Amino acid sequence: MIDINLLGEKQKPKPEITPIETTTPYRAKAERRPGRIFSLKMIFLVVIAIVILLSVRRYREDILQYGKDLVAYVKTLTEEKPEPETVPEAEIITEPEIEQTQPVEQPKPEEQEPEPAAIVAWDYGRSIKHINAYTAMVRSLSQNADYNLISVSRNGIIAEIETVSETQMVEIQNAIKSTFSEYSLEFMTKGMLLRVWGTLKSGTELPEISPSEEYATPEANRNAINSLSKQHKLTIKEQGEAAQTERENVLRLPVWIKLSGKETDILKFLNDIKEKGLSINITKISGQSKNRSEINEASELNFDFEIIM
């Protein structure tokens, strides 16, 4: 564009001004702070460590088992496999000739030595001692002295006797002392009631006796006890068996029987068990008797034993 001067003077042309290109100034990228980056890394590492610890704690046994299996597997790979054995060629073996000898004559049955008797694996002598102690206590009492209890088990004996006078009480005490010299005895009186406690002295020898071979089976012993109770007119009021138990490498069947009848018949019943040699382990004998001096005498016997199976 040309400017015209109205006064007639030419004006100098204005120099053209070239526009300067303006551009958006460059912003340098903001530098990251090293402290902030380090904090983020630490938090990330702590989170990973916590996750690893929780995983190890929860699956510790599985990891240990896996490690053991891995070690065992590597061990089997590293072990040298045994070389296959070479089978030698078969050799021809010639059997030596056996000289024929005359057969040895076996002795006749009557000439053979008898087989040794079976060893009793339980203390049969103690069973006999129980019978002896019970029957001896009953027989040491006066005829008109009733007893509420006579009990024999293990190494002890207990009795509770009703007396009618102090003189009778003293006589019974003296009779018990002379009968049970192998026992340590204690007496206690309460009115006309006499209580006795006896303990077998240490070192006392038990009877050396063995049961009869005739009663070597449980059935034989059961049948004998039932037969003897009928023979002596005793009534079986209660009878039972417990579960079989094994003690001292012996299988035992606990049995208990409650009998009632006359006192003399009960004593005969116990005496026959001893004389016939029933193969039973007597654990406890207890009984009572009322009206011993009367015709209507009433006696009871609790008989506990074990059948050896």
Write down the pLDDT at residue 285: 98
What angle is formed at CA 215 by the lines to CA 212 and CA 218, rounded to 5 degrees?
145
Contacts of 244 (CB under 8 A, 6+ apart): 251, 252, 253, 309
Mean pLDDT lowest for which of 44-58, 90-104, 132-146, 202-216?
A: 90-104
Residue 111 reports pLDDT greater than 50: no
Average confidence (pLDDT) over 130-156: 96
Q: Which of the two residues, 47 and 6, has the higher pLDDT score?
A: 47
Contacts of 33 (CB under 8 A, 6+ apart): none
Contacts of 226 (CB under 8 A, 6+ apart): 236
Nearest residue to 305 via CA among 137, 140, 122, 43: 122
Write down the pLDDT at residue 190: 95
Q: Where are the domains of the chain?
A: 124-308
Beta strands 250-261 and 245-247 are antiparallel
CA 198 to CA 111: how far, in whole Å? Answer: 52
Nearest residue to 168 via CA among 197, 198, 199, 189: 189
Q: Which of the two residues, 165 and 101, has the higher pLDDT score?
A: 165
Q: In the structure encoding, which two tokens stand for residue 108, read together?
A: 């006749």
**Chain segment 194-228, per-residue pLDDT in tens:** 999 999 999 999 988 899 999 989 999 999 999 99
**Chain segment 153-209, per-residue pLDDT in tens:** 999 999 999 999 999 999 999 999 999 999 999 999 999 999 999 999 999 999 888
Q: Which residues pair with 226 in a beta bridge?
A: none
Residue 261 reports pLDDT greater than 60: yes
Write down the pLDDT at residue 75: 63
Q: What phi and psi, each to the nearest 5 degrees, are found at residue 235?
A: -95, 130
Write down the pLDDT at residue 170: 96
CA 268 to CA 197: how far, in whole Å? Answer: 25
Rounded to the nearest integer, the mean pLDDT of the chain is 80
Q: In the structure encoding, which two tokens stand for residue 212, read together?
A: 């009869």
CA 194 to CA 160: how far, in whole Å? Answer: 6
Question: Which helix (H) or strand (E) is 228 found in, with range?
Answer: helix 218-231
123: pLDDT confidence band, cut at 50, 70 and 90? confident
pTM of the predicted structure, to 2 decimals: 0.61
Q: Which residues pair with 162 in a beta bridge?
A: 146, 193
Tell me, which fold does domain 124-308 have in CATH? Answer: Alpha-Beta Plaits (3.30.70)
